A and B are shown apart, each in its own frame.
Chain A
Amino acid sequence: MSKTGKITVKDRDPVSSLQNFLKLLLEKGTVEAVLVQQRLPIQNAAVMPVLVTDPEKLEGADPLAPAFPLNGARMLSRLTRKPLDAPIAAVMRPCEIRAFFELVKLKQGSAENVVFIGVDCLGTYGNIDYQKIAASTAGAESTLTFHRSILSGKGTATGDADISPACKSCDHPVATNADIGIGLLGANIEESLLLISNTEKGARVLGGLGIEVEEGDQPLRQSAVDALVSERTAYRDKMFEATSEAVSDVQKLMGYLGNCVNCYNCRVACPVCYCRECVFTTDVFDHEPAQYLRWAKRKGALKMPTDTVFYHLTRLAHMSTACIGCGQCSNACPNAVPVAELFRTVSHGVQKAFGYLAGASLDDEPPLSVFGEKEFSEVTGGKD
């Protein structure tokens, strides 16, 4: 039931055309605020999510920048922890919307009164790489260069940097669960962007703005999406295989996690690591000094900080049913531990085992919040 319209791009600049579209939402009073990533009005032009209420303050908005400083689902959860009085628009990447859906199901946010605007995602760079790329050009120029390079078939690599492995392996580049999709795939974005309404809410918003949409197939778009998804899926499957092999016993897993210093940044950055207080930072792990010596004596040696593998396995037990593969865990790691590959690989298996796909819909119940009398009888040796 999705319908498609378009935004005409002026001066070959899709970014400012998008800004105008968002401006319209505020000017017409469709929404009270827009949450969108913006190039901040500061020297190094960092890109961060910004909550904008004044249409004049949208000039830095750049939803197409291949920047992903953090997963915005967490920010939206801060805004919607209590019911919103008036609607807001959230311009997000597909994985941000999917993460947010998981948070809604965990009662850490509400999708009511939010108009989700999901932008096709062609990938993002790690924070440090992006900072270098953005510093070398002024304003949104680096964004346009990135998209031109992809459009002309030159790919995503810039100098010695490339988009993150999480993005390369992401099989959900299109936000099919957004109210309104901004389509880049299958469009010549220097001429026009596609506007896709996926829900009734989306159709209402576009109708209110006087934007015409119509039903009908989009063969060009469909084939562009299919091609990207199959490229990503191929990368993903190789990554699954390599990662599974790299951690196939505890000795190897220790090698994989060897540079971890238990800073817990990966957990802070993870949008779906849901505990308000992490047990690993409570006094459960504030061990008695003498305890360390007892442990050391038992095995003869004790690596410090302790419980690194324990931490990562416990985190997996918590978030593997909800991981949407955004890669922010790796992005946040100061020691380049490839945690995103590991978490995505395991989560994929876990979600398959429960017949669940994180972030796909608000209706599917998270696997560990439901249970049935007759199920998984293999766990108890065939007895239910």
Chain B
Amino acid sequence: MADYEPTIIAFVCNWCTYTAADLAGTSRLVQPPNLRMVRMMCTGMIDPKYIIKALLEGADAVLVSGCHPGDCHYINGNLKARRRMKLLKEILPRFGFDERRLKMTWIGASEGIDFAETARQMTAEIKELGRNDLRTRMVL
């Protein structure tokens, strides 16, 4: 696949991963600009249909990232999110979506370095994987 810049939709929670991303920015860590962040109050608010829609519209990958287990500000939203991701990882690959296009991580508020590293790694991996060609194809 020729070099291209993947579009990664990142649903992140306000309290942990978003704060980590902010920290990565203010710490001037170098990171690729491929993540399009959608700030949610909690990963537990991420409805599976946001993820399905993103992929059907041609996002090259979706990242869901929130607080570590035990740290969720709403007690267990992240654990519910993990089950929903498990569900999507079971459903979507059956229709040809590469499982690598669905990623979930825990990144705490102080882990700016981890955030920048995740962004770098994921961008590289999705570049390697190639485009989600639904971006230009009509989807019924």
Query: A residues bordering B, Cβ < 8 Å?
Result: 244, 247-250, 252-254, 257-258, 260, 279, 299-303, 308-310, 313-314, 316-317, 320-321, 346, 349-350, 353-354, 367-368, 371-376, 379-381, 383-384
A314 cross-chain contacts in B, Cβ below 8 A: 48-49, 52
B140 within 8 A of A: yes
Closest chain B residue to A257 by CB distance?
B140
| CB <8 Å contact, B96 and A353 | no
| CB <8 Å contact, B88 and A371 | no
**Chain A proximity of B122: nearest CB distance (Å):** 11
A248 cross-chain contacts in B, Cβ below 8 A: 94-96
**Chain A proximity of B123: nearest CB distance (Å):** 16
Contact A383 to B87, CB < 8 A, known contacts A301-B138, A303-B138: no
Find A310's partner among B49, B89, B92, B106 (CB 8 Å cutoff).
B49
A323–B138 alpha-carbon span in the complex (Å): 30
Chain A to chain B: the 10 pairs with minimum beta-carbon distance, closest first: A249-B96, A371-B79, A317-B48, A308-B140, A353-B90, A314-B49, A254-B140, A376-B86, A313-B52, A350-B90
Contact A250 to B104, CB < 8 A, known contacts A279-B49, A379-B86: no
B105 within 8 A of A: yes
Closest chain B residue to A315 by CB distance?
B49
| CB <8 Å contact, B138 and A350 | no
Interface size on B, residues (CB 8 A): 35
B26 within 8 A of A: no
Query: B residues bordering A, Cβ < 8 Å?
Result: 48-49, 52-53, 56, 69-70, 76, 79-80, 82-92, 94-97, 103-106, 134, 136-140
A254–B76 alpha-carbon span in the complex (Å): 36
Please count the residue pairs between chain A and chain B whose beta carbons lie under 8 angstroms apart in the complex. 105
A379–B85 alpha-carbon span in the complex (Å): 7
Main secondary structure of the interface of B (DSSP, over half): helix
| CB <8 Å contact, A316 and B91 | yes
| CB <8 Å contact, A254 and B86 | no
| CB <8 Å contact, A317 and B49 | yes
Closest chain A residue to B118 by CB distance?
A381
| CB <8 Å contact, A376 and B106 | no
| CB <8 Å contact, B87 and A320 | yes
| CB <8 Å contact, B96 and A379 | no
| CB <8 Å contact, B83 and A310 | no
| CB <8 Å contact, A371 and B140 | no
A309 cross-chain contacts in B, Cβ below 8 A: 56, 139-140
